Amino acid sequence: MPDFQKLDTTIPVAPLKLVVMDSARELGDCINKDLIDIRKHKHHMPKDEITFKGYLQEDYRLKFSTDRFDSGEAKATLLESARGQDIYLITDVMNHSISYQMYGFTNYKSPDDHYQDMKRVIGAIAGIARRINIIMPCMYESRQHKRSGRESLDCAVMIRELKDMGISNFITFDAHDPRVANSAPLGGFDSFLASYQFLKALLYNIDDLIVDKEHLTVISPDEGALDRAVYFANVLGADTGMFYKRRDYSRIVGGSNPIVAHEFLGSDIAGKDVIIIDDMISSGESLIDTAKALKDRKAKRVYACCTFGLFTNGLNKFDEAYAAGILAGVLTTDLIYQPEELLKREWYINVSMAKYIALLIDNMNHDISISSILDPVGRITKRVAEYKEARASQTEQFSLELEDDM
């Protein structure tokens, strides 16, 4: 948890303002509410000192607009001054629900459209604000992080371009490959994990989960997610394993080489609960194939914890997998757009990240270390111990305490 006493003795970099893009409206509104609550009830700042002017606000969101012309061209306009402010711009480049009119046709915004809108707002603020920090939970073109053959390096170009535009810090979550930050090595870059929030959601929603090596295994669906699985398993004290994907490199389907088989590496999982951990659900076919392979090996229940749930091919396959007992539940965060039909699914568990981001912004505005927020090992260990104690004593205290945690 943050050290609020240390925060109370540190002067903010500048008055804080949130720039919430339309794509991240729901998440941004929740962050704003949590930030107001934190600063009203957690801090004890001197109200009359000039260095804390504007510290307590009824709304931290900066007013602006991004207007579209009939031709599809656009512009960003600030509706109030951003001069001298510490700006935190929040965007969701994966939101596919926002549309605009162009030549009489309805177009839905792509990640490219969201990225360009964000750059327009940066262009309106740059040179005026004290500092610009970007919070882009799912990185633009994150899967195009390395070059194969004659491909473009879109993610690295994005990082470099934003640094050239004058941003100070780039904040993302569960970066597909954090090494993409090497494209602008002198700028601030942080990639956070949702490990603690996933654990909290699992313990709160699954009453009979036993957290030890004999009853729980954390699985990586491929070699790329192995670091995440090993980290999560180690802090939980659970077993771990992985699949590796055999692909047909002679063909390209949907932009990638199709998977022909999943090979498992790990100990016996018969009778154990299994957590599949990864950064992203795209179509979900690979995840469901992995869950099937785990059930074939007599796994008790299979849960999936993925930071970003895109569900690009819809939800029907997940409905079928849940009905067939292949998947017991799917957990993703609210860091990107979630359609209403997803939130209504019986198998879906939403993992809220708004309070965590609000605490992160609060710390960064004071320009102090965020290591206590960045590394959740202590909090995970504490929660697991409390959960085991609560199960042993058959009390409800643990569940009640979880509701007020970040």
Overall pTM surpassing 0.85 (yes/no): yes
What average pLDDT does range 256-263 have in this prediction? 75
Helix, strand, coil percentages (3-state) for the chain, rounded to 5, are 35, 25, 40
Q: pLDDT band at 46, cuts 50/70/90?
A: low
Is the pLDDT reported for residue 276 higher than 70? yes
**Annotation: CATH topology of 4-192:** Rossmann fold (3.40.50)
What average pLDDT does range 42-59 have in this prediction? 77
Task: Give 43's DSSP letter.
Answer: -
Calpha distance 240→26 (Å, rounded)? 35
Q: Are 201 and 351 in contact (CB under 8 A)?
A: yes
Burial of residue 288 (CB within 10 Å: 0-12, 13-18, 19+) is buried
Residues 145-168: b if buried by 16+ CB within 10 A, e if exposed: beeeeeeebbbbebbeebbeeebb
What average pLDDT does range 10-17 have in this prediction? 91
- Residue spans of the domains in the chain: they are 4-192, 195-352+376-402
Is the pLDDT reported for residue 14 higher than 50? yes
Name the packing angle between helices 354-365 and 25-41 (round to 10°).
Answer: 60
Calpha distance 358→313 (Å, rounded)? 32
Is the pLDDT reported for residue 257 higher than 50? yes
At 134 the pLDDT is 98
Is the pLDDT reported for residue 275 higher than 70? yes
What average pLDDT does range 11-33 have in this prediction? 96
Nearest residue to 95 (alpha-carbon basis) of 345, 280, 339, 284: 339
What average pLDDT does range 304-312 have in this prediction? 96
Is the pLDDT reported for residue 5 higher than 70? no
Q: Where are the beta strands (DSSP E) in 185-255?
A: 188-192, 216-220, 239-247
Is the pLDDT reported for residue 326 higher than 90? yes
Q: What CATH number is given for 195-352+376-402 in this structure?
A: 3.40.50.2020
Residue 181: what residue type? A
Residue with tokens 């994907």: 245
Give the range among 38-47, 113-122, 236-245 with minimum mean pLDDT.
Answer: 38-47
At 202 the pLDDT is 94
What average pLDDT does range 161-173 have in this prediction? 95
Distance of CA 65 to the CA centre of its chain: 25
Nearest residue to 89 (alpha-carbon basis) of 150, 16, 177, 10: 16
Is the pLDDT reported for residue 404 higher than 50? yes
pLDDT in tens, 62-85: 999 999 999 999 999 999 999 999
pLDDT in tens, 202-250: 999 998 999 999 999 999 988 878 888 999 999 999 999 998 877 777 7
CA dihedral of residues 224, 226, 231, 233 (deg, nearest 10): 140
Is the pLDDT reported for residue 400 higher than 50? no
At 3 the pLDDT is 60
Helix or strand or coil: residue 9? coil
Q: Where are the beta strands (DSSP E) in 254-340?
A: 259-265, 273-281, 301-309, 329-333
Beta bridge partners of 263: 244
pLDDT in tens, 358-393: 999 999 999 888 877 777 888 888 888 888 888 777
Name the strands in the sheet holding 16-20, side by side, starting at the edge strand that comes first in the sequence.
16-20, 86-90, 131-135, 169-173, 188-192
What average pLDDT does range 245-257 have in this prediction? 76
Between 187 and 356, whose confidence is greater?
Answer: 356
Residue 96 CB coordination number (10 Å): 17
Nearest residue to 121 (alpha-carbon basis) of 29, 187, 24: 24
Calpha distance 113→326 (Å, rounded)? 37
Identical topology for domains 4-192 and 195-352+376-402: yes
Q: Where are the beta strands (DSSP E) in 103-223?
A: 105-108, 131-135, 169-173, 188-192, 216-220
Which tokens is 230 given?
């090993």
Nearest residue to 4 (alpha-carbon basis) of 40, 30, 31, 32: 40
Is the pLDDT reported for residue 398 higher than 60? no
Rg (CA), the chain: 22
Calpha distance 394→265 (Å, rounded)? 36
At 1 the pLDDT is 56
Is the pLDDT reported for residue 177 higher than 90? no
Most confident of 170-179, 259-268, 302-311: 302-311
Q: Are 31 and 356 in contact (CB under 8 A)?
A: no
Is the pLDDT reported for residue 191 higher than 70? yes
Is the pLDDT reported for residue 21 higher than 60? yes
